[in-house]
């Protein structure tokens, strides 16, 4: 009994099999691998000058190369099992070079559309109705952009290109909108992390360096901030430039933003909460130390003013005044106590 991968391969390449036993005729393994190797060699030679539309075909040829190196049914089956998750995927790969061999121009047009649509990811679960419809259109279009169309129904290529054109126009509008919104959020984060949050981190660093306040807190916040900013792409492309580039490539050439990607809003919110929690903890520690200092030394206008700062419900006053000189005064005050 022929294995599932070997059977798919021989059927795709047109090898003869006994319909009663479904056993491939004797010598078919050799004929199959020879046919496959000849096909790969011929198609690869014709792709030397091919552009990006040939990328998926080249990838299929690379995968099939492992199968073509086998010399018997068992070897083909083992090589295919290591390369493909299912037998149908092997057949799809074989159909690509076969289509190119039979109808190279139609196949190139089809693969160009297929490559664009595959990279033009659209979230299907978005509550936006227009986007949800676009995601469905994308899925249906991909189902129709198969290699067999180029061979069996080349007259459908023009119809597919019309549908592809409609999809691409709607996708570009969505992409430009999402690209703008994504980078507006990212720009706000970058501004906050380099200004407001930088002041918070500096205040926390100075407080953590005072041993009388106890063990440091939030020591990982600076590194977490760096990692958050490293995860979100920076883009210098204006939206007009992005729109101009999208008819050829479905993603911005500056940041390669995928519409499936979402800004790490939850991570930023968690960072913000953890930073405030750490500052408030140090604020409470400092308030207790200042109260103890005031109790032990009687009325002191300077200490009273400082107490009002550290006992405030908001940590902002402490962040605003915290610098090396204030840190030195706190160290001195706590050392005296």
Q: CB of 67 within 8 A of CB of 32? A: no
Read off the pLDDT of each residue in 260-267 and give the average, rounded to a whole number.
88
The residue assigned the tokens 């199968």 is 67
- pLDDT-derived band of residue 316, with 50, 70 and 90 as boundaries? low
Where would I find the H helices in 120-155? 129-144, 147-152
Q: Return the minimum-mean-pLDDT range out of 1-15, 139-153, 254-268, 322-336.
A: 322-336
- pLDDT-derived band of residue 174, with 50, 70 and 90 as boundaries? very high
State which of 52-66, 116-130, 252-266 shows the largest mean pLDDT. 252-266
Gap between the Cα atoms of 83 and 61, Å rounded: 12
Nearest to 210 by CA among 315, 330, 101: 330
Q: Supply the pLDDT for residue 118.
A: 92
Q: Supply the pLDDT for residue 217.
A: 93
Nearest to 111 by CA among 92, 124, 86: 92
Tell me the average pLDDT of the chain: 83
Its pTM stands at: 0.75
Catalogue the long-range contacts made by 118-126 (C-beta closer than 8 Å, 24 or more residues apart).
118/142, 119/249, 119/250, 119/251, 120/167, 120/168, 120/171, 120/175, 120/250, 120/251, 120/259, 121/258, 121/259, 121/260, 122/171, 122/174, 122/259, 123/259, 123/260
Length of the chain equals 337
pLDDT at 308 over 70: no
């Amino acid at each position: 009994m022929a294995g599932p991968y070997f059977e798919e391969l021989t059927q795709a390449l047109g090898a003869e099999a006994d319909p009663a036993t479904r056993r491939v005729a004797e010598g078919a393994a050799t004929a199959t691998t020879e046919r496959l190797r000849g096909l790969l060699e011929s198609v690869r030679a014709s792709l030397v000058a091919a552009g990006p539309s040939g990328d998926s075909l080249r990838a299929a040829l690379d995968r099939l190369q492992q199968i073509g190196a086998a010399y018997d049914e068992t070897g083909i089956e083992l090589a295919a099992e290591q390369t493909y998750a299912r037998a149908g995927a092997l057949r799809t790969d074989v159909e690509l070079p076969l289509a190119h061999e039979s109808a190279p121009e139609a196949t190139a047009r089809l693969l160009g559309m297929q490559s664009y649509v595959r990279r033009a990811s659209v979230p299907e679960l978005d509550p936006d109705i227009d986007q949800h419809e676009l995601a469905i259109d994308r899925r249906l279009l991909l189902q129709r952009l198969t290699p067999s169309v180029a061979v069996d129904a080349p007259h459908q290529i023009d119809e597919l290109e019309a549908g592809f054109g409609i999809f691409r126009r709607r996708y570009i509008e969505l992409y430009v909108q999402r690209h703008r919104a994504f980078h507006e959020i990212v720009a706000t984060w970058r501004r906050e992390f380099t200004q407001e949050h930088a002041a918070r981190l500096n205040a926390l660093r100075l407080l953590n360096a005072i041993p009388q306040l106890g063990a440091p807190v939030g020591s990982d916040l600076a590194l977490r901030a760096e990692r958050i900013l490293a995860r979100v792409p920076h883009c210098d492309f204006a939206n007009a430039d992005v729109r101009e580039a999208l008819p050829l490539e479905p993603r911005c050439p500056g940041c390669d933003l995928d519409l499936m990607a979402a800004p790490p809003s939850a991570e930023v919110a968690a960072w913000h909460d953890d930073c405030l929690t750490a500052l408030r903890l140090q604020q409470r520690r400092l308030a207790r130390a200042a109260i103890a200092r005031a109790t032990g030394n009687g009325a002191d206008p300077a200490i009273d003013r400082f107490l009002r700062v550290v006992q405030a419900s908001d940590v902002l006053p402490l962040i605003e005044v915290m610098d090396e000189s204030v840190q030195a005064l706190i160290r001195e005050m706590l050392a005296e106590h």
